Structure 1
Amino acid sequence: MGEQLKFIVEQLNREPFSKNLNLITFDSVEPTQLLQILNDVLAEIDSKHALDIREELPEQTMKRMCALLGMFKYKPPGSSSDVSSFRQGLVTGSQAVVHPILHWLLQRLPELKKRAYLARYLVKLEVPVEFLLDDVINDTYQQYEELVEGFKKCHKECEQLRTSGFSTAEIRRDITAMEEEKEQLVKRVERLKKRVEAVSNHQRMLEQARQLRVEKEREEALSHQKQEQKNQMFQVEQRLQRVQQQLKEMRQATADADPERLLRRLEEEAKINSYMVSEKLPRELEAMRRSVHFLQKVAAEPAMGHADLQELEEKVRAAESQINQLIEKRMMRSEPMDDKLTLYRQQASIIVRRKESKAEELQEVREELLAVEKELRQRSGQELAEGGEGGEGRGRGGEVVREEEMKRLVSRLRSKGTAYKRKRQEMSELRAEFGVLQRTEEILRQRHQDVHQQLQSMEAEKGISGYSSTQEELEKVSALKSELDQQKGRTLDDMSEMVKKLNAMIVEKKSAVAPVLKELRSLRQTCQELIVEHEEKKKQYESCAAGLESNRSKLEQDVKVLQEETTQEENRYNQITSMTETVKMQLQRAADEMKIYVSSDPQEKKKALREVLMKNISEQELLGKKLREKQKMVRENHSANMEQVKMWRDLEQLMECKKQCFIQAQSQASIGQVIQEGGEDRLVL
């Protein structure tokens, strides 16, 4: 309950509520304020409920909140027979009813907001059947249902689009960028077509360029295929080395072993496994079953009182005394043969304990071996993957870096570090020089503008304005014409040189590709052989993996069932221990109360819980009696008091009216006096 209150207070202190509460103030909140807090939470979920509960009747508040909670599928704690008490507690603002509702609502605030939003459109209107007989109403209701279904589909599509991760703005930006790029490419193609159409036999040149591009693509594909085949060869070599290493280890392990020793070792392993299966594991399983049966028996028994506990304690004491008597009788009639047997029994028990401890150690060592083998397989797989990615650049991926290679690597890193520092210094100097040059360019541009303005003013004075700009344009046109002439000549020369270069490159590439093709034929044959071997190994692996996977799934299922049973039994054990502690506390409290009640001291008797409760009951009864008398007096004097209040209000209005009249009369008298003084002044003048 304390954790529930802490959660409620923390959530109410956050946005958007910001109630600024603590546990004490929240616990001491009045029922009306508690209902208002609940209404604020409901208003945050659905804005239609944002109102003051003092402005509506309690029955309306209860109906409204119950309807909303029913729409949210809230289930009050307790049985279905507590519905009336739940409604009564909701009307009166009981903490036992409102606190669980607040805890449930604050836990699911975003989900309930979404549900309230959907309920606004998906909760269907209930139309009586006799109204649906009318065709107009029936058609309208059918349209309403179709609209509801359409809203469901639109909402699902909207949620899918929200969760899909696509952004319309990004897609639009990509589309516009691609369209701009397409336009630029089209313009470039048009320009190139216009430039090439003026050249003779351009179709043949285009065909040669197309063939060159195809050959380049083939070359890239062949190089990529060659690299893949090199990677596959490297992986096969790695696998071959690993298998050879395993074969070497197996041969070394079996070099000094003869058949008798191997058979002896297998017999020992068979004995250990049979001991584990036939003795140790069944014993542990039986112990667990007994403990589970005992716990089930304890959980199935009803709650015990003080008399039941005393009876059990008496039975335990009687059983202990009987055991002691049997031990004494056995010791009295002990025989020497039994003494000898006890020695052997002790030795047998010691051997059994040692065997159990060794079996546990063996189990731990096996688990550790399995974990180490699993880690080894993972590391070998990672090394194989890294070797496949690195190709020949990595070399033997499984080898350890030596000291000499480490020194060379450190020296190489140091040289690269010094080169990086030197380049960074050069970049800083170039940036400083760029800043100086940029500033110089700005100064020269400003001076050029000043000189140009002076020249224009001088031309205007001489009457030849525009002379310099016209001369510059003529010079630009002549320079452009000369550049175009030169470019035409260069273009023809470049085209002829490019054709020669293309022919030479084609011949060179053909001569370079010929040995690669020969090598590729042999590699393809080896690749086919490796693919066949790979398929066979893959089938063996898949069959073995399927068997292991089925065994693993069975074991996981058994482990899961046992874990669930263990957790259930632990929960039952904790529940029983807590019930035992509470019973002990109640017994201790009852014993203390009994001592106080039996005591002859009157002061001690006053401390008894019964006396305290009786005293509180009497005080509350006196207080209730006084309050009822006060309520009766208020009801009797209510009408007279209301009349007196009305008379006081009328008296207050009358006095206010007299005050206003007095103020008006005083202001009129002051105005008349001023007028009279003014007339006298005139007469004197």
Structure 2
Amino acid sequence: MSEQLKFIVQQLNMEPFRKNFNLITFDSLEPMQLLQILNDVLSEIDPKQAMDIREEMPEQTVKRMSSLLGMLKYKPPGNFSDVSSFRQGLVTGSKPVVHPILHWLLQKVPELKKRAYLARFLVKLEVPAEFLQDDIINDTYHQYEELVEGFKTYHKECENLRSSGFSTAEIRRDISAMEEEKDQLLKRVERLKRRVESVSNHQRMLEQARQLRVEKEREESLTHQKQEQKNQLFQAEQRLLRLQQQLKDLRQAAADAHPESLMKRLEEEIKINSYMVTEKLPKELEGLRRTVQYMQKVSSEPAMGQADLQEMEGKIKEVDSQINQLIEKKMMRNDPMDDKLTLYRQQASIIIRKKESKAEELQEAREELAAAEKELKQRSSQGQGSNGEEVIRGDELKRLVAKLRSKGTTYKKRRQELAELRAEYGVLQRTEELLRQKHDIVQQKLQTVEAQKGISGYSDTQEELERVSAIKSDLDEKKGRTLDDMSEMVKKLNSMIVEKKSALAPIIKELRSLRQRRVELNQEYEEKKAQYESCAAGLESNRSKLEQEVKALREEMAQNENRYHYINSMSEIIEMQIQRAAGEMKAYVSSDPQEKKKTIREVYMKNIAEQELLGKKLREEQKVVRENHSANMEQMQMWRDLEQLMECKRQCFIKAQNQVSIGQVIQEGGEDRLVL
């Protein structure tokens, strides 16, 4: 909590708040002042919230703050999960409610500003369904939804432009640089014109130079055409080779296209596709669903601080230690039955891994083939002109230039990241050295502790066991390579299965008649089921009525029981009062004086007499004070005058002591003499 308060005070003392708080002054704030500070922070996020909460009703303040916090996706702490308690704490300005809100808001002010800005346009208005039946309102609402979607797209484009690396300042600098180059070129042209005009026959020489330039440009265009024709010839040759190879492959496929081979190939494809559909793809889909659920759970959770991360790391370490302990227990148990089963489990896991890896390779190969075919179609449709020549259009050239610029900016960013990674690599190397030194020290301490406990070499034995288990797993993997022989056995089994299928053909015919019988029974079952459901629905309605009657009777019984207990308690109170009255009457009528003294009447009479005596005594004292009041006042005034006189003498004596002495006063025999 102290760290939370420190963070809040530190952020409030900075821009744009500048509150000049310390921990003591912030902790001693009144609830109204604390709510005003919370409102100031909310107004920094959303300017519409800027107001003085003293001018607003508490219910409206809580409603406004709650709606904004809900829009910002704030979740109260665990002890305020109830909405009513949270609202009550917000109304009263409770510190356990307001402090976590301030801490959460001040941690992510820029992000919340952006969220509040977007919420102004993206939070849709709730229109009742009966209003939407009106055509005008329905059309207006559809236009409103279209505008919201358009705002989303424009905002995404704006964010992409901001993060793309291009800025208007860079473009202006490029334009100014090109304008300066243009001015310099114009000046050079003017200087060359002035120099040429002084030469004789300059017009004829300029004409020859122009013709020379034209011929050079023609030569360059012819060279470019020659190169393009060479490229086209090379592409045609490559295309011819590809077509010849395709023709060769098609002829080989046609030569090998026997019914048995085709059926075998189709069966293999069916097996592969059935495996992909029934096993691999459902697993991947389930994994993606779990990932999405985890992501949704993480996004719905509030932001985690440093303390939460440390707590999670501690839990992870505890779970890791428990896993290591369970592994050690399993290794120490060393059950021979488990060892036998482990071999088969490992072989099965090796087969499953091989199967999954091959399926993944097949999926990747299919995706690469589809992408290559798609790219080939796009290139063939876009990259050829009317005569089969490749043409680079203006739009494509602009895209290439933009792509090169983006690659240049990406290169700069990657180079900067590479420099940062190199620096981090140096830090990690140093950290690794320090950790190795610590590991050596811990290993030495572990050896000394093992020697003290009399179990020297335990850690080495543990490492040796792990190494042996790793070697054992390698051997098991090598054993799995012998599964190729088992594949041959699988083929034989498949042939036997075909034979069994032929033998099972008559049984399948009988099965068809049984299936027809099953369809009839299913129809009869559906009819009986409908009858049962109708009967059950009637009984259910009767049961609900009876339950309502029983509920009403139980409520009436509870009311009668409450009334009965109330009457019993009132009767007991009245009986006690009657008993007290009878005892009082008995004591009052009794002839024993001691008994009479115990009655309430006698006690009250005694108290009354004592109070009367006390009042009489006080009246006499009052009379004496009134009679002596004037004399006492005169005496008090005389004492005050005497006090003033003595104070005056004291002041005079102090002044006489402070003055410069001009002689000496001698007092003898009741006389005062001044000796100069």
Q: Note whether the superposition's TM-score is higher than 0.5.
A: no
Instruction: Give TM-score scaled by structure 1 length.
Output: 0.31
Taking CA–CA contacts closer than 8 Å with sequence separation of 6 or more, which of the two structures ends up with the larger relative contact order?
1
